[in-house]
Structure 1
């Protein structure tokens, strides 16, 4: 016969309730013992019957296990308390930063000329003075940047001028060297041309002159 599923509620019959308590108590004590032996776990079990009778099991020392439990619970509570404090601190910082961001947004809009309807004359004067100071700072920075760029361009101009002078000097030197190399060739050409010119004086017809030249050679 298959047993039905036991309903998880209080057994009204006192005798049945006592019998069930005895059986399940013994089974629970047995399971605690097996758990401590098989898994090398530190197990402590405390049971009070409906009439207040104590049943307990401890794999080592009940008192030491209880002290260990209390220490662990204390540490956990301390960690939880620290975590709660940290969360509250973060929430407070978040709220403070949100307020600062909101104030900065309002100030930014006022500097842009927006949201000035609720501003007093003193606040408007302060905004105007702040804008004037900002304009002076921006202009001073702009002039500084201009001057730095001008100095850089002047330095670049000097560098280019020096490079140009150097290249010009090299070009002149190469031109002079080329002119000197051409001069001996001109002299040789002149000598060759001069060698073909007749320097002797002959008297008589051309035929006689050519005959004399052949005999002289």
Structure 2
């Protein structure tokens, strides 16, 4: 600790100084090695974190793509539902463009009329043929 050095002669002080310098060199070497090891460990951790970041970015990109596809599917289903619920849309058979029709949905009204004589005769003739 530097105390009680007055009893030492020059050779002993020189020897003590050499020991202190060797010890200090060892301490500095050990400290430098610890810093080097810590730097390597932090670089490895940084590399691992970078890899995880890249993997997460890929997953995020994949999720965005899946969400876009799901959004398209949901929009298509909504359009289909809207179209099926909207009575103004007619089923196209290819002739609609040539012969447009304007059918409207209406509730059927019960019609109460007596069958004509001709219908009764036709009905009997159909029963006889069967």
Matches within 5 A, 1:32-47: none
Shift of 1:156: 0.8
Which of 30, 49, 63 pairs up with 1:160?
A: 49
TM-score normalised by structure 1 residue count? 0.38
Judging by fraction of residues, say which structure has more strand: 1
Q: Deviations over 1:49-68 (max 9, x none)?
A: xxxxxxxxxxxxxxxxxxxx
Shift of 1:214: 4.1
The gaps in structure 2 that reach 5 residues or longer are 91-102, 109-130
Q: 2:66 maps to which residue?
A: 177
Q: 1:84 maps to which residue?
A: none
Q: Are 1:113 and 2:5 matched, yes or no?
A: no
Judging by fraction of residues, say which structure has more helix: 1
Shift of 1:142: 0.6
The secondary structure found in structure 1 opposite 2:104 is: helix
The gaps in structure 1 that reach 5 residues or longer are 1-111, 201-211
CA 1:151–1:213: 2 relative to 1, 3 Å: same
Q: CA RMSD in A?
A: 2.7
Instruction: Report how many residues are paired.
Output: 95
Runs of 4+ that moved beyond 4 A: none
TM-score normalised by structure 2 residue count? 0.59
Separation in 2, partners of 1:199, 1:115: 109
Q: Larger C-alpha radius of gyration, 1 or 2?
A: 1
